[in-house]
Each structure stands twice: as structure tokens, then as C-alpha cells.
A and B are shown apart, each in its own frame.
Chain A
Amino acid sequence: MKRTHHIYSIILMALFFIMISFVMINDLFHFYSPPQALVMEKRNLSRKPIFDINKLDFYPAAYNRYYDDRFPFRTKLISYYAGVVSLKFFHRSPYPDKVELGREGWMYFVSEGALYKGKFTLSNDQIGQIVTEIHNRAVYYHDKGIKFYMAIPPVKQEIYPEYLPRNYYKLPGKNTTEKILDLIRKDTLVNLVDMKSALLKAKKFGRLYYKTDNHWNALGGYYGYRAVMDRMKQDFPSLHPLETSDFTMQTKVVKGKNMAENMNVTDYVQEEDLIPHLKLERAKEGKRKGYKPRPTFPYPQEFEIVREVKNSGIPIVVIIRDSYFYGMMPYIIENFRKTVILYDTFVYGIFDDAIRIEKPDLVFYMIYEPHVPNLIGIDLW
């Protein structure tokens, strides 16, 4: 049978050569054009590095990135691996360093989990700096006679721990956010809205967070909104928060959202989205003043949103927000004569121009929990 073995050895060699040389052949003849970066990657594909004798140590790593990025069928292969092999067949996260799979289809970001678990920590000095940053904003608005409100929507691990993998843990003691919140509560100039308690209480009314996204859904946004409005109403009795009877909620099945995107499994995972329809929409688009975001701000087109309601008896608000605010926006804009919304995620600064021009009665800062360290330039991600 030596002859048979010899023939099959040649066949194996031929197949192996075809396999390992197909990328080079493709590079020569361009049968398959280089793919775009995946949605989840939010970046451009790496370019071929320039060979510089003075920067030799950097060349191999740069070339590896370039080569891996240009690998033929890369996007399709990644999608197939993530969706079919890993998620559907092995029932495990294709990127366990990014997204953890909970129970009943719930997904959780690993980096946010580090905050929840207490693995991501800040020193007492850093916590002090964050609290000082917030206090400084409160003093600024207080000096101008403007009420300052703040809410920190919690990561979904805090609200839905029951869907976390059983092997999830929380280190003993308070995590960084809890320590920060304890200190902010002592600051009498900051009107802190207790978002976590409000959401935990509201869980009985329906699902408040997306299963495949780290954001809350429109229902979570509503109950977050109610917590904020109930607090503001104590100072501004003219505010009348919307009731659940003021809108209907449409359910729509959509592709998996940001965590599914992160794992490139949107085609294999579905999400139930909620779309609120207000029975009486009073807020109209207002004229934007063209406030300028910081030069490095990644979403300049979304920076400024203005909504107006014709009612001189209700206050004006300036809101400094991040992406979490979208869940709350359809409701909150109905309650103010003018709502100026500035998307200043990662910095949450003071916009002197906007305050001077808009002359708000109150200012509301909404900082998603994992972005709180950004106040002192520390990025959890």
C-alpha cells in the first residue's frame, strides 16, 4: 500500500499548498477585494506600514495588523465564527473578553462588569477629584442661581443581576460608583437623582433594559425620566411629568443591538425594541444656536438638540448628556419651555456660552455610570 500512501501524500501536499498560498495568489490577482472594517470595530482598516529603518521595532506589529485586516473573507469568517460556531453551536461568547453571555439571552459588557464587580477601582484621591469636579459644576450653577441636577444611570448588572451568569461575583465592600455616590449625596448643592432605586422599583412594570445592548429601553428611559422629574418637581411645581397613560408602547423585533454588534452576531440574535408613541406631542424642533463641541468630540452632528413647547409657565433646561439620554428624551422634552441638549459624553463640561444665552432655570447632567471616571480623564473602556 506504499503506492497508495505516496499518491495520497501528493494529494495532501497539493491541497495544503493551494490552501496556504491562496492569500498570496489573491494578493497578486485580486479575486477578492479587501473587506471593510466590521461595524463593531468602529475603525478604518490598518494600512500597510512604511518600512523605516529607524522604527524597526514597530514594523512587525503594524504589518501583522495590516495583514490580519486584509485577510480575504475576513468579515464573513468572523461573522460565521461568532454567530454559528461560537454562539449557536458552542453556546459561548465569541469574545469573552468583551461580552459575557448571561441567562435567557442577556448580554453584559465585560468592562462594565469590572465596575460592577469592584475589579475596576479608583484610588481615594481619584474619587475625591471626581467629587470635586461635580461640586465645582454645582458651585458654578449655584452662583448663577441655576438649580443643578444630576443622575447616574447604573449599568444593567445592577438592575438585572438575576440574568448574570451564576459565576459572576461582586467583591466585598462598596464598588467605585457606590463610593462616589455616597460622597455626592453629602453635597447639598448637587441634587442627585437616585436612579438605581427608581429602576429597581420599576422592574415590576416590564423589562427596562435591552437584552443585547448596554442601554435601557424606552420603558427604562421612562422610569428614569420619572425619577428625574419627580425630583425636579419638588423645586418646580409647574412641571407635570407624563403618566404611562399619556403614551402607548409599540413593540418591534429588530436585529441584536450594540453588544451583538460588538460580537458581530447581529444576524443571529434578535432584540425586542420598544417605541413610545405620545398621544399628544407638544414639543417641536427649536432653532439651534450652533454651540461648538470640543474638537475631539466623535459625534459633532449629534452635539446640539433643541426642543420647544409653547407654554411660558414652565422652565427652561439645559441638559448635558451621553447616549443614555436617548431613552428618556421623548418624554423629557415635553416638560420644558425649551430643552437644550448638549451631547458632551466623556467630559460633561460647563458650556458657558449656552448658559449665558439660554439662561436656563435648571441644568441636568446625565452621566452613564461607566463614564463617571471620564470626569477626570480616566476611560473604563
Chain B
Amino acid sequence: MFVNSLLFLYLFLPVTLFFVYISSSKLKNIFLLLASFIFYAWGGVSNVFVLVASTLVNWFIGLSLGKARTARLRKTWLVVGILMNILPLLLFKYTGFFRDNLNVLISLFGLSPLWIRTYALPLGISFYSFKAITYLVSVHRRETPVQRNYADLALYISFFPSLLAGPIDRYRNFLPQLHDRVPTVEQFASGIRRFAIGLGKKVLIANSLAVVSDELFNGPVSNLSTPLAWLGVICYALQIYYDFSGYTDMAIGVGRMFGFELMENFNFPYISKSIKEFWQRWHISLSTWLRDYLFLPLAYSTSRKLKKERYFSIRVDQIIYMIATSITFLVCGFWHGAAWNFIVWGLIHGFLLILEQLGLGRLLKKLYKPLRHLYALFFLLISWVFFRTVSLPDAFHYTGILFGIGGKPVDWLMFLEYFNTGLILTIIFAILGSTKIFSIVAGWFRKRTNDPLMALRIASSNIYELISIFLVILILAASSLFMVAGTNNAFIYFKF
């Protein structure tokens, strides 16, 4: 089920809220788990078996980890657990990729291609597998106790707001909320606000931008001129941000309605002044997951193997950073999709991070701030080309056109044809919304609600609250109108 569907908003959500809130505290989580399975089943009933199997396997491995007496046995169970989560991911997501590439290699030797069956990718498997690994690592590191209650663990892994596209919440954050959460009116209302913002981001902005970016990316690349190629990638950069952060907002908002505080996933990534800063602001739950569960262990194990202080006159800490970053971003790219263009996308980010670490970062800090923004945005846009195009040759071709190589001659009238009132308003709003301007305006209003003058304080707080409610209802109504009109489509991040 999609959270930006009429069925979710007008049936699933009110029914689930009703049953969870009228049930006793013991049954609340059971209802939520049941709702999560139904929510997931709506995207393919067969996929629920994969999800249930995953929760059962992780529950069992967690129990075994808890019972293991020796460090070695605990480590063995952890490795088994990680493999049990990675293997289904490999099977469902990467079989086709490995088969196709193997067949290319085989064909070089004149052999006939292998036939290996591929399976439909269960929605959200990349997200819930990573959540499950988080639980196992957390138990292994003794950060949290073993979860003996299957329903509680299953709810953590399959909690429906974050099931399909994250955030990849940490078990240690979720655990205290499982039984001790006390939803408040303010929390619920803030959940509604957050949900409305997310729905508006997805339905009103991302989908509108998708019309242009899809047209420009799905058509023949050779048909693009340089300005059109830039328009396409700018629209896509905004689309993916509003699409994905919109989903996160909805997940956090719905979570709050049930009394959960999920992890934040975005913090205005496009105001970054470096790639390093971008990864501190973009898909935070994934970047910190990769940092905690891949980068740091890799860096630690590499550091134990490298004994000298310098290799080829490069400091050992820099070598460790280079190795760990390269591998981490290779995995990051591959996690996003089983295709070479995603791998290259990850490697571009990894390469830029290494450059920044090796000295570019220090150089950037000396630059005028807008230039640093430009640097970050420029490379982010280039990397999005690799993320969006369907093949590596297309990505290189598209990138070439961005710099005037291999495209069609510039036709400004054709370029302007794309700019109807809808697109102009959407782009302006999307650019402003990706900065902190709206937060600053809201903050200014909020400050007035603390004015020392009582009359002013009362007036401004009432105005602030009324405007806030009006906007929330307006966004919900406008989004519903767009959804009824059938303009809703699947989230970009579901396919990962």
C-alpha cells in the first residue's frame, strides 16, 4: 500500500488509529503489527511470507545470540544473522545483475549464456533487512537486550510507516518506545502536520517535477540540448529530494500519531557546502548506518593490518580512510540499485569524499560560501545523472551534453516550452523549500508568540496556529484532489 493513496489516508489510517487507540496497552502493538502486515500485503500478498520469515529468522538468531556463552559463538551467530539478511537481498535484488554480467564474461569465451532464475523484488527489502541487521549488531554489542517477544521484534522490523522506504531506525531508539510511549495531543498534532507536509511534498511537488524529468530522461539522450539536459537533472534533483523526504515526513508523521518518534532522515541536504556535509544531511539513517556498521568496522580492521605510519608517503590514517570510504560508497551505490550506473554514482561520491579528506576540504573552507555551495551542487547534479539514467553509456552521454558535447543545438524556444505556470511555481517553491527559508519564516512567527507584550503574544500565537491549521488542511485537501485525479505514482525509493 502506498501512503500517498486514497485507501491509506481515508481507510487504512483511520481504521488503524481507531483500533490501536481503543485497544488495551497490551494489544496496541499486536494491532500495529497486524496493520503492518496488512499494509505490506497490499503490495503483494506473497511478499508477506518473505517479511514474516525475515522477522522469525532474526528473532530466532537474536535468541541464539543471547544464549551464546562465548564471544566466538556470539560472533558466529552474528555472522549467520547478517548472512541470513544479506542472502535474500542478494537473491531477490542482485541475481539478475550478477547473471547478466557473468553472461557477458562467458560470452567472451564463446560459451552459451547461463540461465538463472530471477525473482520479483519484495518492496522495501533493502530497508527492513538493514533494520534487522541493526537489531542483531545491537544485541551482539550488548547495547540492547535480546528481544524475547516475537511481536515486538517483528513490529520494529515491519512498522508500517517506515517499512517501505525508511527511515532505517535504530533498534536502540525504537526499543524504549515499544512499551513506554505515551502519545500526547501535541505529538499527535505535530504528526498530522508532518504527514501533511510529506504528502504535499510527494503529491504536489515531486510528482509535478517528475513529469518533466521523466520526459527528459526517458526520451533519447541524443535528442537533448545542453539547457534541456540541465533542466532535466535539476528537476530530477528536486524531485528525488521531495519524493524521498516527503515519504520520510509521512513516516515520521504517522509514527507520531501512534506515539513513536522515528529517526530524522533529511536536514536540508541541498544547502550543503561539501559532499561530506551532504552525507550528513541526506538519507541520514542510511549514511549513519553505513558509518556505524560498515565504515568504522572496516577502518578499524584495516588499521590493525597496516603497521607503518606512511605508505608511498601517504599517511596511514588517510589510506585507511580511502579504503573504508571506497568500499562503503561502493556498497552504498550497489544498495541503491543492481546496475553499474548506481555503482558509479556511489564511487563518484566516495571519490569526492576522499578528495575532500585529502585536502580539497581545507581548500574549500577558504572559499567564498556561495562558491562552496556551487561546488557541492555541481557535483551532486552530475552524480544524479548516473543515478537516474538507465544505463552507463546513457549517463556518460547525458553528462557530455551537460557540457555541450554530443547534444542537439540549443533551441531556447523549445527550452522555454517546458515552463508552464505550473512548472515555474513548482520549481520556485521547490528551490525555496530546499533551503531553510520557510523554517526561518515560521521561526520568526513563532518568536512573535513569545512577545513580551501580552496582547501581541496572544494575537500572534492565535494567528500562527490558525495559519498553521489552515495550511495543513489546505495541503491535505489539495493532495487528495491530486490523488483523486490519479496523479499519484510510486515512490522512487521503493525500488531500492
Contact = CB atoms under 8 A, between A and B. Distances in A.
B192 A89 contact: no
B302 interface: no
B108 interface: no
Nearest to A7: B465
Contact of B188 (A13, A60, A169): A13
A81 B469 contact: no
Contact of B228 (A13, A19, A21, A167): A167
B43 A60 contact: yes
Interface string B410-451: 010111111011110100000000000000000000000110
A24 B473 CA distance: 19
Interface stretch (A71-79, A139-147, A180-188): A71-79
Interface residues of A, number: 49
B411 A90 contact: no
Give the size category of B's interface with A. Answer: 35 or more
A78 B485 contact: yes
Contacts of A90: 420-423, 425
A9 B44 contact: no
Contact of B421 (A19, A23, A78, A89): A89
Contact of A19 (B44, B416, B473): B473
Contacts of B418: 167
Given A9-B189, A12-B192, A71-B484, A92 B469 contact: no
B422 A8 contact: no
Interface stretch (B4-12, B63-71, B344-352, B366-374): B4-12
B309 interface: no
Nearest to A8: B465
B10 A23 contact: yes
Contacts of B468: 8, 12
Interface string B6-21: 1101110111000000
Interface in A1-59: 1, 4-6, 8-13, 15-17, 19-24, 56-57, 59
A8 B469 CA distance: 8
Contact of B6 (A71, A166, A169): A71
Interface string B217-256: 0011001000010000000000000000000000000000
A86 interface: yes
A4 B462 contact: yes
B385 interface: no
A6 B423 CA distance: 38
B46 interface: yes
B476 A19 contact: yes
A298 interface: no
A6 B186 contact: yes
Contacts of B188: 9, 13
Contacts of B411: 166
A300 interface: no
Contact of A64 (B7, B41, B425): B7
B211 A81 contact: no
A10 B192 CA distance: 11
A59 B45 contact: yes
A20 B413 contact: no
Interface string A244-277: 0000000000000000000000000000000000
A57 B48 CA distance: 11
A353 B14 CA distance: 62
Interface string B152-189: 00000000000000000000000000000000011011
A57 B45 contact: yes
B450 to A, nearest CB: 7
A153 interface: no
B484 A24 contact: no
Contacts of A86: 422, 485
Closest 5 CB pairs of A and B: A90-B422, A9-B189, A8-B465, A81-B485, A166-B414
Interface of A: 1, 4-6, 8-13, 15-17, 19-24, 56-57, 59-60, 63-64, 67-68, 71, 73-74, 77-78, 80-82, 85-86, 89-92, 94-96, 165-167, 169, 171
9 contacts: A8-B469, A12-B192, A23-B6, A67-B11, A81-B481, A90-B425, A94-B485, A166-B411, A169-B220
Interface of B: 1, 5-7, 9-11, 13-15, 41-46, 185-186, 188-190, 192-193, 211, 215, 219-220, 223, 228, 411, 413-418, 420-423, 425, 449-450, 457-458, 461-462, 465-466, 468-469, 472-473, 476-477, 480-482, 484-487
